[in-house]
Amino acid sequence: MASLARRLAQNVGVTLFYDINQLGGNIPNGDKERYKRRIADWKEMTRTFPGMQKFALSINYRNAREIAEHYLTLLSDALPVKPLADIPVFETGEVVVHHTEPNLLEDVLASILRRLLKEHVATDIGVITVDSHAGRLCRALRERNLPVCEHPSGCEVVVTDASIIRGHERRIIVVVTKSTEILKRNFGIAIDAYIAMSRAVQQLFIIETS
Protein backbone atom coordinates (compact mmCIF):
# COMPACT_ATOMS: atom_id res chain seq x y z
CA MET A 1 0.00 0.00 0.00
CA ALA A 2 2.78 2.44 0.87
CA SER A 3 4.43 1.70 -2.47
CA LEU A 4 1.14 2.39 -4.25
CA ALA A 5 0.80 5.71 -2.42
CA ARG A 6 4.25 6.82 -3.62
CA ARG A 7 3.46 5.97 -7.25
CA LEU A 8 0.11 7.73 -7.46
CA ALA A 9 0.03 10.76 -9.67
CA GLN A 10 -1.74 13.86 -8.43
CA ASN A 11 -4.59 13.36 -10.92
CA VAL A 12 -5.16 9.70 -10.04
CA GLY A 13 -7.57 8.61 -7.33
CA VAL A 14 -7.90 5.39 -5.37
CA THR A 15 -10.61 4.28 -2.94
CA LEU A 16 -9.83 2.04 0.02
CA PHE A 17 -12.65 0.28 1.87
CA TYR A 18 -11.90 -1.37 5.19
CA ASP A 19 -13.48 -2.54 8.42
CA ILE A 20 -11.25 -1.65 11.36
CA ASN A 21 -12.47 -4.72 13.27
CA GLN A 22 -11.35 -7.08 10.50
CA LEU A 23 -7.75 -5.85 10.34
CA GLY A 24 -6.95 -8.33 13.10
CA GLY A 25 -7.28 -11.35 10.84
CA ASN A 26 -4.61 -14.05 11.17
CA ILE A 27 -3.41 -12.68 14.51
CA PRO A 28 -3.42 -15.28 17.32
CA ASN A 29 -6.28 -14.87 19.74
CA GLY A 30 -5.22 -12.78 22.70
CA ASP A 31 -2.18 -11.16 21.02
CA LYS A 32 -3.37 -7.64 21.74
CA GLU A 33 0.00 -5.97 21.20
CA ARG A 34 0.32 -7.33 17.67
CA TYR A 35 -3.19 -6.14 16.91
CA LYS A 36 -2.38 -2.64 18.19
CA ARG A 37 0.73 -2.55 16.01
CA ARG A 38 -1.25 -3.60 12.95
CA ILE A 39 -3.84 -0.88 13.49
CA ALA A 40 -1.11 1.73 14.05
CA ASP A 41 0.73 0.61 10.90
CA TRP A 42 -2.50 0.74 8.89
CA LYS A 43 -3.35 4.26 10.03
CA GLU A 44 0.20 5.42 9.30
CA MET A 45 0.02 3.86 5.83
CA THR A 46 -3.24 5.66 4.96
CA ARG A 47 -1.61 8.98 5.84
CA THR A 48 0.97 8.45 3.07
CA PHE A 49 -1.69 8.80 0.35
CA PRO A 50 -1.73 12.37 -1.06
CA GLY A 51 -4.91 14.30 -0.32
CA MET A 52 -6.43 11.47 1.71
CA GLN A 53 -10.03 12.06 2.78
CA LYS A 54 -11.77 9.77 5.25
CA PHE A 55 -15.47 8.91 5.36
CA ALA A 56 -17.32 6.65 7.78
CA LEU A 57 -19.83 4.37 6.04
CA SER A 58 -22.54 3.19 8.41
CA ILE A 59 -25.35 1.77 6.27
CA ASN A 60 -25.66 -2.01 6.53
CA TYR A 61 -26.80 -3.34 3.16
CA ARG A 62 -26.03 -7.01 3.86
CA ASN A 63 -27.76 -8.38 6.94
CA ALA A 64 -31.38 -8.66 7.93
CA ARG A 65 -32.30 -6.69 11.04
CA GLU A 66 -32.40 -9.71 13.35
CA ILE A 67 -28.94 -10.87 12.27
CA ALA A 68 -27.30 -7.48 12.76
CA GLU A 69 -28.99 -6.94 16.11
CA HIS A 70 -27.83 -10.37 17.28
CA TYR A 71 -24.12 -10.05 16.56
CA LEU A 72 -23.93 -6.38 17.54
CA THR A 73 -25.58 -7.08 20.89
CA LEU A 74 -23.40 -10.13 21.49
CA LEU A 75 -20.03 -8.79 20.34
CA SER A 76 -19.93 -4.99 20.45
CA ASP A 77 -18.21 -4.80 23.83
CA ALA A 78 -15.69 -7.51 22.91
CA LEU A 79 -14.57 -6.07 19.55
CA PRO A 80 -11.59 -3.67 19.35
CA VAL A 81 -13.88 -0.95 17.94
CA LYS A 82 -17.63 -0.83 18.47
CA PRO A 83 -19.31 -1.14 15.03
CA LEU A 84 -21.13 2.00 13.92
CA ALA A 85 -23.32 0.35 11.28
CA ASP A 86 -27.00 1.21 11.30
CA ILE A 87 -29.46 -1.55 12.08
CA PRO A 88 -31.02 -2.63 8.74
CA VAL A 89 -34.71 -2.17 8.02
CA PHE A 90 -35.62 -5.45 6.32
CA GLU A 91 -36.54 -8.45 8.48
CA THR A 92 -36.51 -12.18 7.73
CA GLY A 93 -37.08 -13.98 11.03
CA GLU A 94 -35.35 -14.82 14.29
CA VAL A 95 -31.77 -15.99 14.65
CA VAL A 96 -31.88 -19.68 15.59
CA VAL A 97 -29.53 -20.88 18.35
CA HIS A 98 -29.21 -24.65 18.79
CA HIS A 99 -27.33 -26.43 21.59
CA THR A 100 -25.86 -29.90 21.15
CA GLU A 101 -23.22 -32.24 22.52
CA PRO A 102 -19.84 -32.23 20.70
CA ASN A 103 -20.17 -35.89 19.71
CA LEU A 104 -23.54 -35.15 18.07
CA LEU A 105 -22.43 -32.06 16.14
CA GLU A 106 -21.82 -33.72 12.79
CA ASP A 107 -25.20 -35.48 12.76
CA VAL A 108 -27.07 -32.37 13.95
CA LEU A 109 -25.38 -30.19 11.35
CA ALA A 110 -26.03 -32.75 8.61
CA SER A 111 -29.72 -32.81 9.55
CA ILE A 112 -29.96 -29.00 9.41
CA LEU A 113 -28.24 -28.87 6.02
CA ARG A 114 -30.52 -31.54 4.55
CA ARG A 115 -33.58 -29.51 5.60
CA LEU A 116 -32.14 -26.31 4.17
CA LEU A 117 -31.21 -27.96 0.89
CA LYS A 118 -34.83 -28.90 0.31
CA GLU A 119 -35.67 -25.20 -0.13
CA HIS A 120 -32.34 -23.62 -1.14
CA VAL A 121 -29.53 -24.27 -3.59
CA ALA A 122 -26.17 -25.29 -2.13
CA THR A 123 -24.46 -22.00 -3.00
CA ASP A 124 -26.94 -20.15 -0.77
CA ILE A 125 -25.56 -21.88 2.33
CA GLY A 126 -22.34 -21.56 4.31
CA VAL A 127 -21.04 -23.24 7.46
CA ILE A 128 -18.41 -21.29 9.41
CA THR A 129 -16.51 -22.75 12.32
CA VAL A 130 -15.24 -20.66 15.24
CA ASP A 131 -12.56 -22.37 17.34
CA SER A 132 -13.05 -25.62 15.44
CA HIS A 133 -11.62 -27.56 12.52
CA ALA A 134 -13.51 -26.76 9.33
CA GLY A 135 -11.61 -29.31 7.22
CA ARG A 136 -12.51 -32.18 9.51
CA LEU A 137 -16.14 -31.09 9.64
CA CYS A 138 -16.27 -30.78 5.85
CA ARG A 139 -14.95 -34.31 5.43
CA ALA A 140 -17.51 -35.66 7.90
CA LEU A 141 -20.35 -33.99 6.00
CA ARG A 142 -19.02 -35.26 2.68
CA GLU A 143 -19.03 -38.79 4.10
CA ARG A 144 -22.73 -38.24 4.80
CA ASN A 145 -23.22 -37.53 1.08
CA LEU A 146 -23.78 -33.81 1.47
CA PRO A 147 -22.64 -31.42 -1.29
CA VAL A 148 -19.91 -29.50 0.55
CA CYS A 149 -16.66 -27.75 -0.36
CA GLU A 150 -13.98 -25.83 1.53
CA HIS A 151 -13.75 -22.59 -0.47
CA PRO A 152 -16.39 -19.88 -1.08
CA SER A 153 -15.75 -19.97 -4.84
CA GLY A 154 -17.06 -23.55 -4.98
CA CYS A 155 -20.53 -24.51 -6.22
CA GLU A 156 -21.57 -26.38 -3.09
CA VAL A 157 -22.26 -25.65 0.58
CA VAL A 158 -19.08 -23.99 1.77
CA VAL A 159 -17.64 -25.25 5.08
CA THR A 160 -14.78 -23.05 6.24
CA ASP A 161 -13.54 -20.65 8.91
CA ALA A 162 -13.73 -16.88 9.33
CA SER A 163 -10.39 -16.13 7.66
CA ILE A 164 -11.43 -17.88 4.42
CA ILE A 165 -15.03 -16.59 4.27
CA ARG A 166 -13.90 -12.98 4.78
CA GLY A 167 -15.20 -10.86 1.91
CA HIS A 168 -17.88 -13.37 0.91
CA GLU A 169 -21.50 -13.77 1.96
CA ARG A 170 -24.27 -16.36 1.77
CA ARG A 171 -28.02 -16.06 2.14
CA ILE A 172 -27.89 -18.61 4.97
CA ILE A 173 -25.00 -19.05 7.41
CA VAL A 174 -24.59 -21.70 10.07
CA VAL A 175 -22.00 -20.75 12.69
CA VAL A 176 -20.48 -23.56 14.77
CA THR A 177 -18.94 -22.57 18.09
CA LYS A 178 -18.23 -24.10 21.48
CA SER A 179 -20.09 -21.40 23.38
CA THR A 180 -21.22 -17.86 22.69
CA GLU A 181 -19.67 -16.85 26.03
CA ILE A 182 -16.25 -17.84 24.66
CA LEU A 183 -16.77 -15.40 21.80
CA LYS A 184 -16.73 -12.47 24.23
CA ARG A 185 -13.54 -13.40 26.11
CA ASN A 186 -10.99 -11.70 23.87
CA PHE A 187 -10.93 -9.63 20.72
CA GLY A 188 -9.37 -12.34 18.53
CA ILE A 189 -12.28 -14.75 18.93
CA ALA A 190 -14.76 -11.87 18.82
CA ILE A 191 -13.37 -10.77 15.44
CA ASP A 192 -13.76 -14.29 14.04
CA ALA A 193 -17.34 -14.46 15.30
CA TYR A 194 -18.12 -10.98 13.95
CA ILE A 195 -16.89 -11.95 10.49
CA ALA A 196 -18.74 -15.28 10.60
CA MET A 197 -22.12 -13.96 11.70
CA SER A 198 -22.06 -10.90 9.48
CA ARG A 199 -21.70 -13.11 6.37
CA ALA A 200 -25.39 -14.09 6.71
CA VAL A 201 -27.82 -12.13 4.56
CA GLN A 202 -31.23 -13.62 5.39
CA GLN A 203 -30.86 -16.42 7.94
CA LEU A 204 -28.38 -17.13 10.72
CA PHE A 205 -28.17 -20.42 12.63
CA ILE A 206 -25.78 -20.78 15.56
CA ILE A 207 -24.87 -24.25 16.83
CA GLU A 208 -23.26 -24.28 20.26
CA THR A 209 -21.43 -27.35 21.49
CA SER A 210 -20.80 -27.67 25.20
pLDDT tens string for the chain (210 positions)?
556 666 665 667 778 777 766 665 566 666 677 777 877 888 888 888 777 788 877 677 788 889 988 998 898 888 777 777 676 666 777 899 999 999 999 999 999 999 999 999 999 999 999 977 899 999 999 999 999 999 999 899 999 998 899 889 999 999 999 888 888 777 778 888 999 999 999 999 999 997
- Fill in the amino acid letter for 98: H
Distance CA(72)–CA(76), nearest Å, equals 5
Q: Which pTM does this prediction carry?
A: 0.80
Q: What is the CA radius of gyration of the chain?
A: 19
**SS3 of residue 96 by DSSP:** strand
Domain with CATH 3.40.50.300 in the chain: 65-209
Q: Right CATH number for 65-209 from 1.10.10.10, 3.20.20.210, 3.40.50.300, 3.90.1150.10?
A: 3.40.50.300
Distance CA(126)–CA(116), nearest Å, equals 11
How far CA 198 is from CA of 19, 49, 121, in Å, comes to 12, 30, 20
137-141 own/partner pairs: CB under 8 Å, 24+ apart = 137/105, 137/106, 137/109, 137/176, 140/106, 141/106, 141/109, 141/110, 141/113
